[in-house]
Amino acid sequence: MDAEKIKHEILFQAVNATKNRDLLEQAPHQRYLDLALVFFYLEETEDHQKRTFILSNQQMRRLGVTKEQVTEWAMENTPRLLPPSFHSMEHVLQKFCLWEQAQEDQPPMYVLTNVRMFLGAACLFYPRVLPSIRNAVQEDFYIIPSSVHECIILPMSDAYTKSELEKIVYEVNLTQVPEQEVLSNYVYFYQKSTGKFHK
């Protein structure tokens, strides 16, 4: 591994900052709310399994690169190598033959991930992605962090309240999401007026 390789291949992923406290002590990162962006490079084995290698502070010093350089490269590489994917929940479930028939009273829901559906929650930090979603759904929206691999987008005009959604997220994280894949127990919301997402 050398600096030139890192420059073109380093990526970032979003993780839960509290659950990864030990990791963050040893790796360069960027904090945002209860999340952290860590930097990694991706390898695929001969049987197409994905393996990630987190960049450590020690490796960064050995390569003679700064956190600012690594951040700049990852912010450019990640959207290019792992482009965002935004589709309706119905579309995603139909793709995997899990959707039988839409319910008339079901609120519109969308899935934000990347084209590999792997560590796709990082798309929250891609430039222009959230404003583009705002234009698509034509209103401010909730961001439900279903795992490190994807987020669910729910327009704020839906009947659910933030507290109700957070109860659902907490229960799902506790019972259905592997601990290492839990992103957050909070539900975020995106407002056009601020251009950012908040708790």
Apex 140 CA angle, 134 and 142, nearest 5: 105
Q: Of 21, 54, 81, which residue is a domain's last? A: 81
In the block, residue with structure tokens 């390569």: 63
Q: Of 30, 47, 81, which residue is a domain's last? A: 81
String of b and e for 122-144 (b: at least 16 CB within 10 Å)? bbbbbeeebeebbeebeeebbbb
Whole-structure pTM value? 0.90
Q: Give the pLDDT of residue 142.
A: 97
Q: Of 81, 112, 146, which residue is a domain's last? A: 81
Q: Are residues 89 and 187 in the same domain?
A: yes
In the block, residue with structure tokens 């933030």: 162
Domain that residue 18 falls in: 3-81
Q: Are residues 77 and 24 in the same domain?
A: yes
Q: Looking at the DSSP assignment, which residues form a beta bridge with residue 30?
A: 37
Q: Are residues 54 and 114 in the same domain?
A: no
Q: Are residues 75 and 131 in the same domain?
A: no
Q: Looking at the DSSP assignment, which residues form a beta bridge with residue 41?
A: 53
- Below-50 pLDDT ranges, the chain: none
Q: Are residues 66 and 122 in the same domain?
A: no
Q: Are residues 43 and 136 in the same domain?
A: no
Q: Are residues 50 and 34 in the same domain?
A: yes
Q: Are residues 77 and 88 in the same domain?
A: no
What distance in Å separates the CA atoms of residue 149 and residue 146, rounded to the nearest whole number?
Answer: 8
Q: Give the pLDDT of residue 193.
A: 92
Q: Give the pLDDT of residue 89.
A: 85
Q: Are residues 119 and 157 in the same domain?
A: yes
Q: Give the pLDDT of residue 96.
A: 57
pLDDT tens for each residue of 34-75: 999 999 998 776 777 778 899 999 999 999 999 999 999 999
If we measure between CA atoms, which residue out of 82, 86, 99, 94 comes closest to residue 143? 86
pLDDT tens for each residue of 2-16: 888 889 999 999 999
Q: Give the pLDDT of residue 102.
A: 52
Q: Are residues 10 and 45 in the same domain?
A: yes
Count: domains in the chain? 2
Q: Are residues 178 and 111 in the same domain?
A: yes
What distance in Å separates the CA atoms of residue 155 and residue 190, rounded to the nearest whole number?
Answer: 10
In the block, residue with structure tokens 């934000």: 112
* Cβ-contact 65, 28 below 8 angstroms: no
